[in-house]
Amino acid sequence: MKKTICIFSSLTIIGVVMTGFGLSALNSQIQSKPFRMERTLEGIKNINIDASSNYGALLEIVETTGSPKIKFEGDMYGLNFNYFKESDIFDITITGDTAFIDVKPNAYIQYGNFISDIIKTPSDMCNSKVILEIPKTGLDKLQGSAFAINININELNINILDLTSINEITFAGEGEIANLNLHSFKNNAGYIDFTNNIARNVNVSGKGYLHLDGAYKNVEISYGSYSEISVNSTEPYNTDINCGYESEVNVYGKVNIVDIQDAQEVLIMPSTTPTLINIDSDPSTVNIIFPEDIEGFEAVFTSYTPELNFNFVTTFDTSYNSVEDNIHSNLYVNKISYGNKKTKIDLSNIEDLKILRGE
């Protein structure tokens, strides 16, 4: 629909200026021509690319063995193509070893003094895309924003990878990333899927579906309501997850410290023994499935009565103890204990709790 409106708007202007040409005559002269543009970015260590103004555009990041390249593939509509140039699609500024690339939402080619041919960029053509080719090693920082982003690189090694998407971010391949920042707009239900990558520090914000499965050290997540979040790491890691109401959080792998705020449904299924689990939700259903060989845990919560104030199910031989709070005289400190009490669990605003032994 948008493509049709743009074409006929251009035809209307042409029809007014060029007296004697009927709309049907001009329409018969409109051409469609596929085009491809490419530019090599020599000596570049940092790339900042912004294609977010192209609604519907795909930013595809793939591997090259040489210098980085920016490519554009799409379709051009118009009466004359002789005036087409790179700046109609890209604004590229090189400062030192950093390239700043701005992908324009649409472009016009001047034809004489009267009419313009219009270039259809990815916002208008669903089969158009921006392709960024980068080497798997050698870049220090890549910052990109687009409607959708797909990375398909094996063994990507980079210091900073910072991506923002309106719709989705996917990573197909493997990578070693020192600092990974992923963002989706909170007013959209985005989709982020990162697997088989190594990242020391991960920071994710947005809303919607989030799946992280790799080898991490620190994971911080800030997500909106009605989100689905899943984190798994084959290396020891800490995670801090803050999400909106009606959200589901699943934590797997070698988690050491986990802090979850405001989720409605929580599943924690560690493959090793965590040090600390902190859950503060309002209210929430929490399922914790510990490894079979866990030596002990202690779950602590406060209440106005010494009795359990939520539904509790466990397959461990636990003990229950309640004492008056030394600071707040109207509160009780309640503890559910098993074994050596090594894993500490702090609970707040829990509705249902299951602590089970895994296989």
Residue-range domain boundaries for the chain: 35-169
pLDDT digits (tens, 9 = 90+) for 266-282: 999 999 999 999 999 87
Please say whether the beta carbons of 356 and 288 come within 8 A. Answer: yes
Strand pairing class (332-339; 296-303): antiparallel
Q: Which two tokens stand for residue 310?
A: 């939520």
Average pLDDT along the chain:
83
User: What does the DSSP assignment read for 118-161?
Assistant: EEE-TTT-TT-EEEEEE-SSS-SEEEEEEEEEEEE-TTEEEEEE
Q: What is the pLDDT along the chain (359 residues), one digit of tens a residue?
A: 334 334 334 444 444 444 444 545 555 555 666 778 889 999 999 999 998 876 667 899 999 988 999 998 876 655 555 556 677 778 899 999 999 999 876 544 433 333 444 444 433 444 568 899 999 998 999 999 998 899 988 888 999 999 999 888 998 777 889 999 999 875 667 899 988 888 999 999 999 999 999 999 999 999 998 999 999 999 999 999 999 888 999 999 999 999 999 999 999 999 999 999 999 987 789 999 999 999 999 999 998 989 888 999 999 999 999 998 888 778 999 999 999 999 999 999 889 999 999 97
